[in-house]
Structure 1
């Protein structure tokens, strides 16, 4: 089996390599290709990747290259984890929206739109090259904003599925609180990427008993602290929202915080400098502890499980993925991309049935879905007016004065990445 990682020079990659090495019985990779245009980073990451494989006794071959076409040739699956513009672009995404009193974040709001505009054209070009090389290859997208990027891939007819680590992180968290194995915990996880709620936590499988009320009663304070939301809010909701919902439920509070501390992009950039120095140590043959602070917890396990299931291996039959709605949530269009548990062993992921969704959540999902449709239109066709319409539709923006100012700032900060600007 050949797998290709686009963006293989990312400091994330050793987390992924560690998962491939540990879980080789689930996903028997014979050739792993790391492709990245940044040769210096790729050399460091590739060297550590080979040492991790050697330490854990994995006899698979690791190849590093900047040649995308060679990298995807014959690949059974291609994992996308790229960041167009690097951490410098992320730094901008997280700062200029604050000038207008809006959340500065790399995956949602105005910053998330900027990232989508930079990313979608690049990803679609990569996907076309994958299709030419092997039309049966799966594309697994971990590149944010996952919902919009996955929708672009599916709309263009690619064999694609989106992946996020929020669900697997909560699954592991809840399993620890309950004292059970993660495989025994099934989440009724519903929403869009980075806009999700756990409406039930079931033991033993999709039909198991719901223990979410017990979790909230016994561990509500700890869960609320992790989400940085008030415990009474969780009790009133009766669900566990994704931590990204804090940008909606506590928008002004978050803006105030972001204005008084270094951006996450600045923190990550410094962390990446430290990690790359570590990766250059020829004695290092395991992922360093610092990598856990980089983000993407359990990313490797989710990626291995999904790739194995898609390719007919030993992956779990039900996994939380981003895929077409196809009537699963009747208040959204069929071609909306939703994030729900799905059966992933067939030709396309098949979402499991979802219980009726509270209007409190359905309304926000419908609003953000409309924004994502406008955002994708702006990414595919360009134009200042399309950017303005997407921003005006976003619930974290909403006011025309903000949308005008943010449009000007977005275009000014991203001109080099926008062919139409």
Structure 2
């Protein structure tokens, strides 16, 4: 059986140890000969890599391991690049969230002005990774789950249309895991789903078990009462209070269209006033993460390095990241697994922009994804998606043409922003904050 060489780009991420543990847990399905970490922040990556080295020595000493800041060393001889970079790290995420809140607008990592700011930083970083991959390992595939996935996907469509990049998101996976728990199933893999939308902006229209029985009625009954809250202690990633609120709020989003089940992120677009009212402008989700996961992961990694052992270490497998292995396996072994990916519409949603990057089920094999046909979508969803896809396209256009005007239009068009005046105030603050990260706009 062929063994693969994997590069994790964004090696200093707090998610890296969980992904490494997940890869090691799946070696029987997806064998690895070499595992590399690449990051431009050596200091940060060294701590994560130091712990990963010990983990590998204990669990899979036969795998060659390397952490580097040198693109040539990183990208040479790899089969898959798993990319999860955060340009500007949490310091910039904090500004993405706090600047809009100053003007009474949703401050969120991937939605609204914060997501637009993050997108403007991410485009260049992701394109750089693609270019390195194509230069040093032209046959490799990139599995990109860097946020904001919608803007990044549109940028790769426009600027690297022939690249072997698959854009994927873990949020539908996390929600489907909750659905499986609501239904008392062992795994989301026991469900076949139909879903459509944009990234962080979609709806499930049909969910069945493998025998073809309709599971929607039972799910809808639960969501109508409790949203996606499940009280069985089965989740170790989305445990913070803000996530519990988000899962509960799905109840109100669902009420708007009881024919479908919504992605949780729709709350930011449909209830922005409530979100702002419940936000603390001085302590946002970025602060929660820095005080929570960030401290936890780095403390645990330092312990592992100090003891040169994982004994008593609390780092855990990132279970729901296993979809990344599923995707890599689908390409490597031509499994034709059905997965939700962000792909160019090209008529899959028949009454929607053919060039839009939509999130829909695809059959994935060694040639990449084959999107499934969705057909026509209802007016309500179509209207929301037209507005949001226009925001994403304008952001990418603004990045390409360095246009202040286009970016102002993008922020104005976001459903989270009340007026063009407020959009301009936020934009001017974001430009100031993102000096050195964004192209210079004129």
Same fold (TM over 0.5): yes
Contact in 2 for aligned 1:52/1:286 (Cα 8 Å):
no
Instruction: Find 1:334's aligned residue among 332, 350, 354.
Output: 354
1:44-63 C-alpha deviation (Å, 9 max, x unpaired): 21122233334444632221
**1:281 counterpart SS class:** helix
Is residue 270 of structure 1 aligned with residue 291 of structure 2? yes
C-alpha distance in structure 1 between counterparts of 2:345 and 2:172, whole Å: 18
- In structure 2, the residue corresponding to 1:229 is in which secondary structure? helix
The 10-residue stretch of structure 1 (215-224 or 17-26) with the greater mean CA deviation from structure 2? 215-224
Task: Please state whether the residue corresponding to 1:94 is helix, strand or coil.
Answer: helix
Distance 1:319 1:287 in 2: 36
Instruction: Please point out which of 310, 316, 322 is paired with 1:301.
Output: 322
Match of 2:310 among 238, 261, 285: 285
Show the counterpart of 1:216: 220
> Secondary structure at the residue paired with 2:417?
coil
TM-score, with normalisation over the residues of structure 1? 0.92
Match status 1:171 vs 2:176: yes
Residue in structure 1 matching 2:70, options 42, 67, 71: 67
Deviates more, 1:346-355 or 1:186-195: 346-355
Q: Distance in 2 between matches of 1:287 and 1:108?
A: 38
Q: Which moved more, 1:77-86 or 1:388-397?
A: 388-397
1:407 is matched with which residue? 427
- Inter-partner Cα distance in structure 1 for 2:343 and 2:437: 27
* CA RMSD after TM alignment: 2.2
Which of residues 257, 270, 273 is equivalent to 1:237? 257
Unaligned runs of 5+ in 1: none
Distance 1:318 1:11 in 2: 28
Distance change >3 Å, CA 233–CA 387, structure 1 → 2: closer
CA shift in 2, pair 1:34/1:217, >3 Å: same
Write the distance in 1 (CA, Å) between the matches of 2:223 and 2:328: 33
- Aligned mates of 1:204, 1:330 — CA distance in 2: 27
Aligned-partner SS, 1:102: coil
Q: Does 1:312 align with 2:347?
A: no
Aligned match of 1:247 = 268
Contact 1:150 1:337 in 2 (8 A): yes
Q: Deviations over 1:166-212 (max 9, x none)?
A: 1211221122222223221122121111101112211118xx33211
The one of 182, 192, 195 equivalent to 1:189 is: 195
Contact 2:16 2:48 in 1 (8 A): yes
Query: SS state of the match for residue 377, structure 2?
Result: coil
2: CA distance, partners of 1:153 / 1:58: 36
Q: Structure 1 residues 219, 364: closer, same or farther in 2, change over 3 A?
A: closer
1:63 is paired with a residue whose SS is: strand
The CA distance in 2 between the partners of 1:341 and 1:34, in whole Å, is: 30
The change in CA–CA distance for 1:419 and 1:250 in structure 2 (over 3 A counts) is closer
- Residues 16 and 299 of structure 1 are in contact (CA less than 8 Å); yes or no, is this contact kept in structure 2? no
Question: In structure 2, do the counterparts of structure 1 residues 250 and 117 end up closer, same or farther at CA, with 3 Å as the change threshold?
Answer: same
TM-score, normalised to structure 2's length? 0.88
CA distance in 1, matches of 2:269, 2:341: 22
**Alignment CA distance shift 1:311-1:230 (3 Å):** closer
> CA 1:287–1:122 in structure 2 vs 1: closer, same or farther (change >3 Å)?
farther
Matched, 1:48 2:51: yes
TM-superposed CA distance for 1:301, in Å, is 0.5
- 1:116-131 residue pairs with structure 2 within 5 A? 116-131=119-134
For the 8 Å contact 1:374–1:389, the answer to whether it is kept is yes
Q: How far 1:31 moved relative to its partner?
A: 0.6
The aligned counterpart of 1:325 is: 345
Runs of 4+ in 1 over 6 A off after TM superposition: none
Equivalent-residue separation in structure 1 for 2:129 and 2:329 (angstroms): 22
CA drift of 1:100 comes to: 1.6
